[in-house]
A and B are shown apart, each in its own frame.
Chain A
Amino acid sequence: MTTRRNLLRGASAVLGAAALGPLRSQGLQADSDTAAKRFIFIGSASGCVPNRFWPMGDRTFNYSTAPLERHSENVSFLRGVSMTNGGDHKPYVMVTGQREPGGASIDQLIAERMRSSLGYDQPSLVLCGKSKNQNLRGWFSFGRDGERVLPQSSPLDAFSTVFGRGPMADGGAAATPARGGRAALNRAILGTVTSDIESLTTRVAGSSADRLAEHGDAVARLAASFEDGESAPGPVEGAGCGTGEEGFTTASSGYLDDCRRHMDLIALSFACDRRRVANFMMTPLGHDNMGRGNYRGMGYEGALPGLSSGDQVSMDGPGDLHQVVAHAWHSNSSYAETFARMHRAEAAVIAYLIDRLKAIPDASGEGTVFDHTVLYWTNEHADPNHGVNAGRSDFPTMVAAGRCTGVRVGSYVDLDGGNEVHGAILLALAQQVGAPLDRFGTFRSPWREILV
């Protein structure tokens, strides 16, 4: 049994301009169509500022989540999700459904379940906005034996992982491999390069040989991307495959720009059917040891000692401002405001992802990629103060889903008190993306209230 639900219909549950009913049905249910479904888990850090995050009583999106307002018909905020053992740096509880380390995360389980039906390997796309210490704090993806799955922080490297080659300057044209004579010629050129590489392999040893082999492997993968067709089971490219690929350049204007490239990559991966599951860890929100980087637009500007006003914010020297922002916002309105702005920047990244997914036609011919996608956004904490100040109740939780997923969205659901229901929610969402699980951590029954 889940909880006493309080659907704030009429009185306060309507988000933005879109009039909503109780968890809104969107039409097609997942089990009524066979189109590929996708799942995205997004994990943030350090909790939120509640009165700036949750929808307000006047039925509008709050400040921190306002960027998502344009997708109001597709999102639900679930308040009252609690974690009796999830307060102090135990994000694995949120994503494994277990109280202790050792279990697989939901993205890995769904990817594994999908793999068995696909007949070929399509792992979870595990990304992070910025690398941090590889400890359990802030970690959101775990393999079957509980081992940590290393996220990729470089959009370019992640692109290579997904597509087996670097991004192409001509975007869509390259993503749809060159056919016929052009493809053959490209392969011939790269074959000549390979011959040149091979002519050197016997002449070097040690690290030069290793690097040369690495070069050869990269060229071989690039050549393979120019194959004329697919014969074995594999990705089915949609119409939007390659769209925006040219945007993957080595230039970066900072953390948020990298985040958007990651969102582009998730969208491209889905459009090209290279991935159906993604896990994105938004690590900078108040985490320590973030190191040097440009966090322009994250909300730090002008609000903290040691930072000048203005647009440019690079954290050279001091690691980051986790300690002063995340742990002290209760006592300082300036920090609270900064914290809220940082959440708003993250919400904007998610809204951007939904924009991208909505702009790509689905390969099934039924609507857009987003119509077949479920997105779950949660946090390592309810409150950043490590279990103090009700830090284990009201974990920031949002579900976004397209109309073909059979997930009810468009509402603000207040569970009216702490309810350890996150695992049941994820069980339900897994079912809706075509990856039903017998159990998830300690949870065995899906939370059916989220379903149509």
Chain B
Amino acid sequence: MDPMSRCSMILRVTLIALAALTGCTGAIGNVDESTELPDPPPDLRADRPFQCQPDEEEYGEARLWRLGKRQWEVTVERLLGLTDVQSRLPEDPVGDVFRGEEEILRVRDVEAGFLFRDAQRFASSAISEGSVLADYPCLGDADATCIGTFVRSFGRRAFRRPLTTEEHGRYVELFALGERAMGEGPETVLTAMIQSPHLVYIAELGEPSGDGTTPLTSYELASALSYFFTDAPPDETLWESASSGALNADLSAQVARLMATDEWRGKRTRFVEELLHLDALSHVEKSDGAFPEFGELRDSFQSELDYLIDRGFQRGEADLDLLFQTRDAMPEDDALAAFYGSEGEQLPPHRRGLLTRAGFLSVHAGREITSPVTRGHLIRTNILCDAIGSPPPGANTTVPDPEPDQSQRDTIDRATLGGSCAGCHVRMNDVGFAFGAFDPIGQDRDVDDFGVDLDLSGSVNGTEDADGGFVDLNELLARLANSQQVARCMTTQAFRFASGRTPTAQQQCVLESMQIAGGARMNFEDAIRAYFLSPRFLERKVTP
């Protein structure tokens, strides 16, 4: 194939991707020279400075947040004394940004069926392995007192709070029914409890205190903290603190303890990985012909990201500088050093922050060519909290052939900056082209995917305080690093990660407290800590 044919082929594939990504409704290729920059979408207003009006702000709603798949499995393991519990629940889907956000973790037919069968299976295993009944030898005698104790004791651990009298009676009755019907009283109770909503959901309901507030109960607080920081039910220390009623007074210390666990260390890394889609690095594909070295370098790319993120958190430097500024090199990896052309502890000056690392750049590129719009899209949506939708039904994705010697940039702009496509692409394209000096696996290069000289300049528009021109990526990153909109967006993302929700207009106070805690460079971990210490987390409004 001659080079031009190949170029044409690549272009077609690229533009199909662009259209799929960006929601064009017009005929691609019809450039409207008179197109003006549209007004920022209404959603951007959510990124105005947080304006806490304490007298007006509502406390969070009482809510239920379903356990994620692994959280449910770990809970069952701990409850039943089993190891390596693997349910058939679907993997937790990705929400607006993060995996397992509240709105998308549901129990529909599929989940209900799997919960039922898995509960039966694991209850049966627990009985046959004796991992539960060993604590209740008297059950074999069908002694009513013993059954009552079993239900009360196991139920307390399963529901992570004492059972109500009504619940206790219901499960004792179920035990008797199971015993009469099939001689399976214990299995029947276990099967019901581990699929009960009282186990399956993290409850943040609160109890009216009598002084007009509705604080979370200490048991609810313990569960919320434990599942967030460790993806597991409360440990003995937390359970003891909740049971004794000391948790509220002990809250700061308990949060600090949980934030020192290995489980949190892994989970906080997930925050950055999911924010930047870095979790895709393990399975992103590159052309063997164009990038034969990628297979061997992939692990180095991953190690570098892991190292930078983990070290950032350990040093208390997981913040905007981690995203936009750090030039620190991964130690003791010669292959990576050679890849970057770096010597010593610093990367070259054009490699600043995670967004310029090979792992990030590889994820946000195609198999053989880069994907500038994809890179721009990620920055606009996840770093600036800009609202850019998916393509509407019926998007016309027919694309023109490139003209000879046309650059990748000109071709894409020509195809996307006309008609209704412009509304989104005018905000994404330039930002994405600023990354043009990095190829699909993040290597330095001097020409674009079509072999034409690069133009990395452009302008940011449609933001509150980051608008303006830039000559290259460094200028763009500096602009973003100093943007209050970016800082507020990162606060919003920390809130979304911690709460599983998108903040509403009524949650300005908690956001403000998180941003203040995050400081000038927006330290993610400090912001998340602030969320869990906020009165808006600790109290709920009364359900109508």
Contact = CB atoms under 8 A, between A and B. Distances in A.
A160 B111 CA distance: 10
Contact of B288 (A205, A218, A221, A309): A309
Contacts of A186: 116
Contacts of A207: 63, 102-103
A192 interface: yes
A189 interface: yes
B262 to A, nearest CB: 28
A319 B397 CA distance: 10
Interface stretch (A63-71, A112-120, A310-318, A337-345): A310-318
Contacts of B110: 156-157, 159-160, 166-167, 250
A306 B369 contact: yes
B45 interface: no
Interface stretch (B128-136, B171-179, B342-350, B475-483): B171-179
Interface stretch (A47-55, A277-285, A321-329, A355-363): A321-329
B397 A308 contact: no
A165 B113 contact: yes
Residue of A159, A165, A211, A322 with most partner-chain B CB within 10 A: A211
Contact of A289 (B64, B196, B397): B397
A189 B191 contact: yes
Contacts of A156: 90, 110
A203 B367 contact: no
B493 interface: no
Contact of B177 (A188, A196, A206, A304): A188
B393 interface: yes
Residue of A190, A218, A221 with most partner-chain B CB within 10 A: A218
Contact of A204 (B117, B205, B288, B374): B205
Nearest to A294: B283
A239 interface: no
A307 B170 CA distance: 60
Contact of A181 (B182, B286, B398, B399): B182
B533 interface: no
Contacts of B367: 306-308, 316-318
A319 B166 CA distance: 55
A141 to B, nearest CB: 16
Contacts of B198: 196, 200
A208 B108 CA distance: 14
B214 to A, nearest CB: 11
A289 B107 CA distance: 29
A378 B109 CA distance: 33
A444 interface: no
B210 interface: no
B333 to A, nearest CB: 25
Interface stretch (B6-14, B77-85, B319-327): B6-14
A17 interface: no
Interface string A184-199: 1110111011011101
Contacts of A182: 181-182
Contact of A168 (B113, B181, B205): B113
Contacts of B391: 133, 289
Contacts of B288: 308-310
A288 interface: yes
A249 interface: yes
A136 to B, nearest CB: 8
Contacts of A202: 543
A323 B399 contact: yes
Contacts of A288: 16, 20, 397
B12 A306 contact: no
A164 interface: yes
B12 A160 contact: no
A321 B17 CA distance: 10
Contact of A189 (B9, B89, B188): B188
Interface string A39-63: 0000000000000000000000000
B10 A195 contact: no
Nearest to B191: A189
A120 to B, nearest CB: 20
Interface in B38-65: 61-64
Residue of B170, B192, B371 with most partner-chain A CB within 10 A: B192
Given A133-B395, A134-B393, A288-B16, A168 B374 contact: no
Contact of B20 (A199, A200, A211, A319): A319
A320 interface: yes
Given A193-B195, A218-B112, A306-B368, A204 B107 contact: no
B184 interface: yes
Contacts of B63: 204, 206-208
B394 A135 contact: yes
Interface string B208-245: 00000000000000000000000000000000000000
Contacts of B371: 317
Given A165-B112, A182-B182, A289 B366 contact: no
Contacts of A215: 106-108, 112, 197
A211 B107 contact: yes
Nearest to A219: B112
B76 interface: no
A244 B177 CA distance: 32
A289 B20 contact: yes
Interface in B79-108: 88-91, 102-103, 106-108
Contacts of B543: 202-205
Contacts of A304: 9
Nearest to B107: A215
Given A134-B393, A202-B543, A306 B13 contact: yes
Interface in A201-232: 202-208, 211-212, 214-215, 218-219, 221-222
Contacts of A309: 288
B434 interface: no
B463 to A, nearest CB: 26
A306 B9 CA distance: 9
B116 to A, nearest CB: 6
A305 interface: yes
A451 B386 CA distance: 61
B188 A307 contact: no
B167 interface: yes
B1 interface: yes
Contacts of A206: 61, 63
Given A289-B397, A323-B399, A200 B64 contact: yes
A219 B543 CA distance: 24
A169 interface: yes
17 contacts: A135-B393, A166-B114, A169-B117, A185-B181, A188-B178, A204-B205, A205-B61, A205-B544, A206-B63, A214-B106, A218-B109, A222-B112, A222-B116, A305-B6, A308-B367, A316-B280, A318-B366
Interface of A: 133-135, 156-157, 159-160, 164-170, 174, 181-182, 184-186, 188-190, 192-193, 195-197, 199-200, 202-208, 211-212, 214-215, 218-219, 221-222, 249-250, 288-289, 291, 304-310, 312, 314, 316-324
Given A133-B391, A199-B167, A249-B88, 18 more contacts: A156-B110, A165-B112, A167-B113, A168-B113, A193-B196, A200-B198, A205-B62, A205-B543, A208-B61, A212-B64, A218-B109, A222-B116, A250-B90, A305-B6, A308-B286, A316-B284, A319-B16, A319-B17
Q: Which 9 A-B pairs have the closest CB atoms?
A: A166-B113, A160-B109, A218-B112, A317-B366, A215-B107, A319-B20, A308-B288, A135-B394, A166-B110
